[in-house]
A and B are shown apart, each in its own frame.
Chain A
Amino acid sequence: MDKFETVEGVAAPMPLINIDTDMIIPKQFLKTIKRSGLGVHAFAEMRYHEDGTENPDFILNQAGYRNTKIIVAGDNFGCGSSREHAPWAIGDLGIKVIISTSFADIFYGNCFKNGILPIKLPQDKIDLLMDDARRGANATMTVDLVNQEIKGPDGGVIKFEIDAFKKHCLLEGLDDIGLTMEKEKSIDNFEQKMAEATPWI
Chain B
Amino acid sequence: MAKTLYDKIWDAHIAHEADDGTCLLYIDRHMVHEVTSPQAFEGLRNSGRKVRAPEKVLAVADHNVPTSPMIGGVAAIKNNESRIQVQALEKNVKEFGIEYFDTNDIRRGVVHIIGPEQGFTLPGMTIVCGDSHTATHGAFGALAHGIGTSEVEHVLATQTLIQSKSKNMRVTINGSLPNGVTAKDITMAIIGKTGTAGGTGYVLEYAGQAIRELSMEGRMTVCNMAIEGGARAGLIAPDETTFAYLKGKPRAPKGEMWDQAVENWKTLFTDDDAKFDLEIEMDATELIPNATWGTSPQDVLPIDGTVPFPTDFEDEGRQQATQRALDYMGLEAGMKLTDIKIDRVFVGSCTNGRIEDLRAAAAILKGRKVADTVDAMVVPGSGLVKMLAEEEGLDIIFKDAGFDWREPGCSMCLAMNDDQLKPGERCASTSNRNFEGRQGFKGRTHLVSPAMAAAAAIKGHLTDVRDI
Contact = CB atoms under 8 A, between A and B. Distances in A.
B131 A194 contact: no
A79 to B, nearest CB: 6
A135 B107 CA distance: 56
A84 B130 CA distance: 9
B200 A82 contact: no
B320 to A, nearest CB: 6
Interface in A139-197: 163-165, 176-177, 180-181, 183-184, 186-187, 189-191, 194
A16 interface: yes
A45 B15 CA distance: 43
A79 B200 CA distance: 9
Nearest to B156: A177
Interface string B350-390: 00000000000000000000000000000000000000000
A105 B201 CA distance: 6
A132 interface: no
B20 to A, nearest CB: 6
Contacts of B150: 84, 110, 113-114, 176
Contacts of A17: 315, 317-318, 320-321
Given A30-B35, A80-B433, A186 B24 contact: yes
A17 to B, nearest CB: 4
Contacts of B124: 198
B7 interface: no
Interface string A1-35: 00000000000000111101011001110111111
A20 B438 CA distance: 11
B22 interface: yes
Given A22-B437, A106-B132, A31 B35 contact: yes
Contact of A113 (B79, B82, B151): B151
A52 interface: no
B226 to A, nearest CB: 11
Size range of the chain B interface in the assembly: 35 or more
A102 interface: yes
Contacts of B99: none
Contact of B162 (A30, A83, A180, A187): A180
A18 B42 contact: no
B214 interface: no
A190 B436 contact: no
Nearest to A79: B196
B435 A80 contact: yes
A76 B232 contact: no
Contacts of B47: 177
Contacts of B28: 201
B377 to A, nearest CB: 18
B147 A82 contact: yes
Interface of B: 14-16, 18, 20, 22, 24, 26, 28, 35-36, 38-39, 42, 47, 49, 52, 63-64, 79, 81-82, 84-85, 88, 122, 124-125, 130-132, 146-151, 153-154, 157-160, 162, 164, 166, 196-197, 200-201, 230, 232, 253, 257-258, 260-261, 264, 296, 315-318, 320-321, 324, 414-416, 423, 433, 435-438, 441-442
Given A103-B200, A198-B264, A200-B261, 9 more contacts: A27-B414, A33-B85, A82-B146, A83-B36, A84-B39, A84-B149, A102-B200, A176-B150, A194-B26
9 contacts: A16-B320, A50-B423, A79-B196, A87-B148, A104-B197, A105-B200, A114-B150, A180-B160, A200-B258
